[in-house]
Amino acid sequence: MLKRIEVNELRLGMHLHAFDGPWMDHPFWRTRFVVDDEADLKKARASAVRHVWINVAQGLDVCAPEQQTPQAAAVAAPPSPPPPPLAPPAPVRRASTSFQEEMQQAAAVVKKGRRAVVSMFTDARLGKALDAEQCLPLVEEISSSVFRNPGALVSLARLKTADDYSYMHSVAVCALMVALARQLGMDEEQCRHAGLAGLLHDLGKAVMPTLVLNKPGKLTDDEFAVMKTHPERGHGLLLEGKGAGEAALEVCLHHHEKLDGSGYPHKLVGEQIHALSRMGAVCDVYDAITSNRPYKAGWDPAESIARMASWKGHFDPTMFQAFVRSIGIYPTGSIIRMSSGRIGVVVEQNADKLSAPVLKLFFSTKSNMPITPVRLDLARDHTMDRIAGREAPEKWGFKHVDDLWIDPDLRKAAK
| pLDDT tens digits, 113-151 | 999 999 999 999 999 999 999 999 999 999 999 999 988
Report, as an integer, the average pLDDT of 198-211: 96
Is residue 74 pLDDT above 60, yes or no? no
Q: Which of 24-33, 154-163, 349-358 has the lowest mean pLDDT?
A: 24-33
Quick one: pLDDT at residue 22? 54
Report, as an integer, the average pLDDT of 337-357: 93
pTM for the full predicted model: 0.77
Report, as an integer, the average pLDDT of 68-86: 38
Please, which pLDDT band fits residue 158 given cuts at 50, 70 and 90? Answer: confident
| pLDDT tens digits, 231-246 | 999 999 999 999 999 9
Q: Which of 24-33, 160-169, 248-257 has the lowest mean pLDDT?
A: 24-33
Quick one: pLDDT at residue 26? 63
Domain-by-domain residue ranges, the chain?
2-76, 99-327, 335-405
Quick one: pLDDT at residue 27? 65
**Architecture of the domain made up of 99-327:** Orthogonal Bundle (1.10)
User: SS3 sequence, the chain?
Assistant: CEEEEEHHHCCCCCEEEEECCCHHHCCCCCCCEECCCHHHHHHHHHCCCCEEEEECCCCCCCCCHHHCCHHHHHHHCCCCCCCCCCCCCCCCCCCCCCHHHHHHHHHHHHHHHHHHHHHHHHHHHCCCCCEHHHHHHHHHHHHHHHHHCHHHHHHHHHCCCCCCHHHHHHHHHHHHHHHHHHHCCCCHHHHHHHHHHHHHCCHHHHHCCHHHHCCCCCCCHHHHHHHCCHHHHHHHHHHHCECCHHHHHHHHHHCCCCCCCCCCCCCCCHHHCCHHHHHHHHHHHHHHHHCCCCCCCCCCHHHHHHHHHHCCCCCCHHHHHHHHHHHCCCCCCCEEEECCCEEEEEEECCCCCCCCCEEEEEEECCCCEEEEEEEEECCCCCCCCCEEEECCHHHHCCCCCHHHHCCHHHHHHCC
Report, as an integer, the average pLDDT of 356-366: 96
Is residue 86 pLDDT above 60, yes or no? no
Quick one: pLDDT at residue 37? 84
Quick one: pLDDT at residue 64? 44
Quick one: pLDDT at residue 1? 62
Quick one: pLDDT at residue 31? 55
Is residue 84 pLDDT above 60, yes or no? no
Please, which pLDDT band fits residue 95 given cuts at 50, 70 and 90? Answer: low
